[in-house]
Copies of this chain bind each other. A is one copy, B any other.
Amino acid sequence: MLEIRHLKTLHALRESDSLVEAAERLHLTQSALSHQFKELEERMGMPLFVRKTKPVRFTSGGLRLLQLADAMLPLMRAAERDITRLVGGTAGRLHMAIECHSCFQWLMPTIDQFRDAWPEVELDLASGFAFAPLPALARGDLDLVVTSDPQEIAGLTYVPLFTYEAMLAVANQHPLASKPFIVPEDLSTEILITYPVERDRLDIFTRFLEPADVEPAHVRTSELTVMMMQLVASGRGVCGMPHWALHEYSSRGYVQAKRLGEKGLFATLYAAVRTDMLDVPYMRDFLLTAKDTSFSTLDGVSAVR
């Protein structure tokens, strides 16, 4: 019924002052526009503009359609631009979400490096995701999700980034420091320090304490890793942390890193992307950079991949 073409014509007509001028602007003949309006007005059942005046004047119906055009044409242009950039693959959008809080510091170098290499790509990073990020990825609201819990969703591909061991940071003189590894019950009398996020996003709860039905004596939160390390070092609590994040502190003897459970608590981080995005150059590059960064981050820290 109503078509984009009509809106474009109306828009051009308002910008110019007559049908002829509007026709030129649209690279059409005046006759074409005349026909177009005739038919459109027939379909709408009302005139859309007054012809004899200069500049042209719109009727109420015409004005309403112009409102529509003003709303729709920019949307269209934006979408077409996005598609073009997507095809080109050197520009586009990369909206990320990360489920794992402690990955921030690991992801940041990757992002910085990427931003330099692909200045045309619009970067966005959301961490505190209210909604489930993987469906949002499938829906197209996101472009990449860093997760340790890959779910089988059609159209999504999971690219493994690296495997890390979650460990417990304790003060050097702490009683637990002498144990070969930590068991859940050890924490029932401890103060546990975590990032200020929901429990079900912290491996130490979901995969260590909760299966054993153990609750720490107290839980306190901190935004910054440095701050957490200070608290731990001064014996005011313990905290779970990826071994690579801990390495900087444990290798200097600032705190001790203890294994969680006899066999350790390992997790693999994946980058989830829509499968067809794997072909897009900037996406390939981001994934490669992310892997590289993770290797170098892990380098000399652990053999775990």
Contacts and interface: CB of A to CB of B under 8 A. Distances in A.
Interface string A27-70: 00000000000000000111100100100011111011111100
Contact of A86 (B60, B140, B155): B60
Given A3-B3, A60-B140, A140-B60, A44 B76 contact: no
The CB with the most chain B CB atoms within 10 A, among A79, A82, A86, A277, is that of A79
A130 interface: no
Interface string A165-204: 0000000000000000000000000000000000000000
A152 B276 CA distance: 59
A1 B80 contact: yes
A274 B59 contact: yes
A46 B79 CA distance: 14
Contacts of A67: 79, 140
Contacts of A123: none
Number of chain copies forming the complex: 2
Interface in A68-106: 68, 71-72, 75-76, 79-80, 82-84, 86-87
Nearest to A76: B2
A contact residues, range: 35 or more
Given A4-B4, A67-B140, A72-B76, A155 B57 contact: yes
A96 to B, nearest CB: 14
A140 B66 contact: yes
Nearest to A65: B79
A154 interface: yes
A139 interface: yes
A90 to B, nearest CB: 14
A92 to B, nearest CB: 9
A106 B183 CA distance: 81
A94 to B, nearest CB: 11
Interface in A1-25: 1-5
Contacts of A58: 140, 155
Interface of A: 1-5, 44-47, 50, 53, 57-61, 63-68, 71-72, 75-76, 79-80, 82-84, 86-87, 139-140, 143, 154-155, 274, 276-277, 280
10 contacts: A45-B87, A47-B276, A50-B276, A60-B274, A61-B83, A61-B86, A64-B140, A65-B79, A67-B79, A67-B140
